[in-house]
Amino acid sequence: MPLPATLAELTPSSPVSLKDPVTHAPYEYHPKSGTTYELCATFATASRADEGTYPPRTAFWNHPKGRHCYQLDAGQQTAY
């Protein structure tokens, strides 16, 4: 199944917010080749060490303050 061209093509009943909590703009989504895509957001602060959270977050989701993009693959499961 091909990736959607835009996030707006996802079902409106998705339980996940598709808006950046800082800018309130839609997340930046850039489909790449095959099942890979880039997802960008603006963060108010840098992520901190994952002390005492359950379930623990993986280091993959660490980010600096400001705009940051993640390289993702819809064909692979990403740990939260």
Element (H, E) at 66: strand 66-73
pLDDT tens per residue across span 32-41: 999 999 999 9
Query: In which band, very low, low, confident or very high, does the pLDDT at 69 lie, cut at 50, 70 and 90?
Result: very high
**80 has pLDDT over 60:** no
Average pLDDT estimate for 6-14: 76
* Residue ranges of domains in the chain: 19-73
* pLDDT for res 30: 96
**12 has pLDDT over 80:** no
- Please report, for residues 5, 58, 68, the alpha-carbon distance to residue 65 in angstroms, rounded to integers and kept in the order given: 28, 18, 8
| Predicted TM-score of the model (pTM) | 0.76
For the chain, give percent helix, strand, coil, nearest 5: 10, 30, 65
* pLDDT for res 53: 60
